[in-house]
Amino acid sequence: MKLITTTALALVAAMAATPAVAQNKQAPAAEQAQAKVTPSKGALKALSELQDAVQKNDVANIPAKVAAAQAVATTKEDKYLLGRLQLTAAIAAKDNAATSAAIDTMVGSGYLEPSKSAALYVGLGGTYFNNKEYPLAAAAYQKAMALDPSNTEAPVFLGESLFSQGQKAAAAAAFQRAIQARNSSATKADEALLKRAVAVAYDAQSPIAMDLARQWVSAYPSPASWSDAIAIYSNLSGSDIEARLDLYRLMQATGSLKTGGQYAQFARAAAEQNNFNEAQAVFDAGVAAKVVDPKSSDYSDLVQGLKAKPKATAADLETATKQVTNGNALVRIGDRYLAMGDQAKAIEVYKMAIAKPGTDVAVANLHLGMALAKAGDKAGATAALNAVTGPRADVAKLWLTYVNQKA
């Protein structure tokens, strides 16, 4: 059984909505960077003649003028101006290979600041991308990122270029880098980028999808984002009954339980662990939310099954707590207290369980963190959830994300 939801499927479908890639910005960037550039005396004549040929679009003579200027260009200013004039001519001729070579000359001159050099390659990448020359676009964006690691555009466009080549896992990693770059700047990554990254990573079945999903719900918490993030984790992890229950509990805590099917799956999972108190409470909550019709044949098995099962009372649990010696059995008693809304008793029993040898301490700490969160003890919940290790750690991280959002 998996927690896949229609919203999670819709998220994956949203990958078709590719953001627009930047148009060619080389010429404006070059013009802005060229103010008061003084060539050497030895290159002045050759550069002036090349400039004249470029301005007149004298295509026949431009190659010879370029060669003459190359022969005498010695300073970084000379080489930069040579590249800029070559760039102007290349753009006019719509010659992308010549454009790329001109930018290499300008950047190689050492005259430009790294950020301006990177902007030139971003523009070049946009030209290649719009021509569907995705490998060349990716190479240009990678050059931009190498020159200016803080550039927030290049990794996004690199991701789109890689995705367009079918390299989904690599694209997801590029989007992740874009998110990191934007979060390091004055403005955090926008939700559209996070959703795009999550969708691509999920489609690639990449393990970073879980981390990206946590970042998404951390930055933009909502019932919809939580529903998708939890579904993505469940589908990628192949979670067992224990994890599924803890994820359903998180859906309930975040208000992302929406459909009758989700309430029913939650109730069935609780019943599978013989926690009939919780199963009944969840089913009743679905009825109260008016998404579960108790008269519907879809839920007849639950209605009849829960009627036949005994529900523990507080007195039953008190007696059981005194009698059991097994720590894992104490965890189940704590779960029933928690289902009854008695967080204080649940916390007490979970702590007893943790002190017993042989207890699955990861589960006990995870459930202790849930109980402390529901009791409003943010610090205690954080400590308990951080103590969870092993296979339960990722579920604990999701719960910790929720706890961090609480006042």
Look at residue 154 and tell me whether its pLDDT is greater than 90: yes
- Please, are residues 9 and 140 in contact by the beta-carbon 8 Å criterion? no
Average pLDDT over residues 238-243: 87
Overall CATH class of domain 314-404: mainly alpha
pLDDT in tens, 88-127: 999 999 999 999 999 999 999 999 999 999 999 999 999 9
In the structure, what pLDDT confidence band is assigned to residue 14 with cuts at 50, 70 and 90? very low
Listed range (22-31, 257-266, 351-360) with the worst mean pLDDT: 22-31
Average pLDDT over residues 334-360: 96
**Which pTM was predicted?**
0.81
List Cα–Cα distances, 190 to 50, 149, 385, in angstroms.
45, 19, 28
Specify the long-range contacts of residues 47-56, CB closer than 8 Å, at least 24 apart.
Answer: 47/73, 47/78, 47/81, 47/82, 47/85, 50/82, 50/85, 51/85, 54/85, 54/88, 54/89, 54/92
Res 382: pLDDT: 97
Look at residue 314 and tell me whether its pLDDT is greater than 90: yes
CATH number of 26-152: 1.25.40
Task: Indicate the SS3 state at residue 289.
Answer: coil
pLDDT in tens, 265-278: 999 999 999 999 99
- Please, are residues 363 and 331 in contact by the beta-carbon 8 Å criterion? yes
- State the Rg of the chain over Cα: 31
Query: What is the average pLDDT value for the chain, to the nearest integer?
Result: 90
**Backbone phi and psi for residue 69, each to the nearest 5 degrees, phi listed first:** -70, -40
Task: Indicate the SS3 state at residue 148.
Answer: coil
Looking at the chain, the whole-number percentage of residues with pLDDT higher than 70 is 91
Q: Which residue has the tokens 């890689």?
A: 162
**Backbone phi and psi for residue 206, each to the nearest 5 degrees, phi listed first:** -85, 140
- Give, to the nearest 10 degrees, the angle between helix 154-164 and helix 168-184: 170
**Beta carbons within 10 angstroms of residue 285's beta carbon:** 16
In the structure, what pLDDT confidence band is assigned to residue 200 with cuts at 50, 70 and 90? very high
In terms of pLDDT, which residue wins out, 5 or 404? 404
Res 24: pLDDT: 42
Res 4: pLDDT: 30
Res 18: pLDDT: 35
Which residues make up the CATH 1.25.40.10 domain(s) of the chain? 314-404
Look at residue 3 and tell me whether its pLDDT is greater than 80: no
> What is the distance between the terminal CA atoms of the chain, rounded to a whole angstrom?
34
In the structure, what pLDDT confidence band is assigned to residue 35 with cuts at 50, 70 and 90? low
Res 98: pLDDT: 96
Look at residue 338 and tell me whether its pLDDT is greater than 90: yes
List Cα–Cα distances, 232 to 90, 203, 395, 405, in angstroms.
47, 10, 12, 20
Helix segments in 73-204, DSSP class H: 76-93, 96-108, 114-130, 134-147, 154-164, 168-184, 191-203
Average pLDDT over residues 200-225: 95
- Cβ within 8 Å of residue 55, ≥6 positions away: none
List Cα–Cα distances, 149 to 19, 154, 190, 238, 270, in angstroms.
21, 9, 19, 36, 49
Look at residue 19 and tell me whether its pLDDT is greater than 70: no
What does the alpha-carbon distance between residue 144 and residue 289 come to, in Å, rounded to a whole number?
52
- Cβ within 8 Å of residue 334, ≥6 positions away: 345, 346, 347, 349, 350, 353, 364, 367, 368, 371
